Amino acid sequence: MARFTFKVYKSTTELFVAKCVVNGCAWKLRAAVKNEPDCFWVTKYVKGHTCSIMDRVAHRRRATPRYIGQLFVERTGLIDGIVPRQIADSMRIMFGLNLTYTTSYRALKFAQVFVRGTPKYTTAPNASNQNILARTVCPSLLRNKVGGLQGVPG
């Protein structure tokens, strides 16, 4: 679930209206009391934000690594060859945010998933996978029982 700052437009015992903190954004939540006096029901919910993520992050009290990663990709468009220190420096220069190494590292990981997606198939490294890898990458080399490499004529 995405977290962001919202402002309470109206709050009474029978009605609650919240809007995105960015002016002009379409995100909205409206809840009202229906039959039970202690239960609110959502009557209107506009899910999509029309504001940019940069505007939302600028209004946040704390920036999460997920938002920092998305913000970095949206602002720079780069992800290959980037190290956490570069993310921390960029966020300090662009927005005045001071990030720890851990936050920068997590933001980089979220940015990579944001751009590349998650891997569809993952396998744990074991002996059978290493043998398959050795045969497909370098078919002329096979491991013998002692553990050395032995050339195999093709």
Please write the tens of the pLDDT for every residue from 122-149: 444 444 444 444 444 444 444 444 444 4
- Identify the H or E element spanning 131: helix 127-137
Cα separation, 5 vs 113, in Å, equals 24
State mean pLDDT over 48-64: 72
Please write the tens of the pLDDT for every residue from 27-50: 899 999 988 777 888 999 888 888
Among 87-91, 96-100, 102-106, where is mean pLDDT lowest? 96-100
User: Residue 2's pLDDT is what?
Assistant: 57
- Give the closest residue to 107 by CA, choosing from 127, 79, 134: 79
Q: What is the mean pLDDT of the chain?
A: 75
- Give the closest residue to 114 by CA, choosing from 48, 29, 53, 33: 53
Residue 38 near residue 71, CB atoms below 8 Å: no
The alpha-carbon radius of gyration of the chain (Å, integer) is 25
Give the residue carrying structure tokens 């029309």.
Answer: 50
Give the residue carrying structure tokens 């995100």.
Answer: 27
State mean pLDDT over 51-76: 77
User: Residue 61's pLDDT is what?
Assistant: 59
User: Residue 21's pLDDT is what?
Assistant: 83
Residue 107 near residue 65, CB atoms below 8 Å: yes
User: Residue 107's pLDDT is what?
Assistant: 92
pTM for the model stands at 0.43
User: Residue 52's pLDDT is what?
Assistant: 78
**pLDDT-derived band of residue 57, with 50, 70 and 90 as boundaries?**
low
